[in-house]
Amino acid sequence: MLKFPLRTFSTSRAAKTLLERELYQGNSVVRLILNDKKVNTLSLALINELFAELKAINKIEKVRSVVLAHNGKSFSAGHELTELKTEKGSDKHNEIFDTCGEMMNFIRNMKVPIIAEVNGTAAAAGLQLVASCDIVVAGKSSKFLVPGQKVGLFCSTPGIALVRAVPRKVAMDMLLTAQPIDSESALRAGLVSRIVDDDQVKFEALKVAEQIGQFSRSVTALGKAFFYTQAELNTSDAYRFQKKKSGFAGSLAGI
């Protein structure tokens, strides 16, 4: 049976409004809610706060999964463009892109699964964030796009995560035309795991979290790490890699 929240655990919501935090299912599920303006731009401040939160969560043994949600109609519109103006300088730009890339990599390497809860638009680096999550639950009216072409900024780094989530032809179509795809198309392409009615997105994401929480945290962590490592290998190397992972094989011996 789906559990409802016990409490919100942000102790300084008035002072820190970029993220809201909630605990569910006996404190084993953390729901992080992007809450930066109306379109949740990934400003450096938001990236840093989210990154720090994820690092802290990864160390808590009781946590079994994280749901990444959003307030407003936009999951995220991508980077804060005012921070990417020429006068900000290349050092500032590099800091933004480097920190964002490190966070995306960290999500993949976390011990617990990250579930994106999308009930709106995910664009540019916002789509990159969605594509970097392990599971994506989307509302039927959600849209996904990499619109950099429209403003003369090709979405190069979002494309890194995108092409690892969808076929290359789909990724190039999205990158070159800057046109959005709907949730049905995203599901067919593999960007989205499941779609539901808009008013059910939160509950479906928590349902996924509850299903994951039934199983061993250590096996889940081991399986997630193995999955992403072998996915980058050819088939023969993947099987050889599996043979080296005796701990992984041992964890499955009882199945």
Predicted pLDDT at 94: 94
- pLDDT at residue 5, as a whole number: 42
Q: What tens digit of pLDDT does each residue of 7-57 get?
A: 344 433 434 579 999 999 999 999 999 998 889 999 999 999 999 999 999
The pLDDT of residue 20 is 96
Looking at residue 97, its pLDDT comes to: 95
pLDDT of residue 86: 85
pTM: 0.90
Asked whether the beta carbons of 54 and 104 are under 8 A apart, the reply is no
SS3 248: helix
The whole-chain average pLDDT of the chain stands at 91
Longest dimension (CA), the chain: 60
Query: Using CA atoms, how far apart are residues 123 and 79, in angstroms rounded to an integer?
Result: 9
3-state secondary structure 28-49: CEEEEEECCCCCCCECHHHHHH
pLDDT at position 16, please? 52
**CA 112/CA 208 separation, integer angstroms:** 13
User: Which residues of the chain fall below pLDDT 70?
Assistant: 1-16, 246-255
Tally of residues, the chain:
255
Residue from 168, 148, 66, 162 nearest 114 by CA:
66
Domains of the chain: 7-212 (3.90.226.10), 217-252 (no CATH)
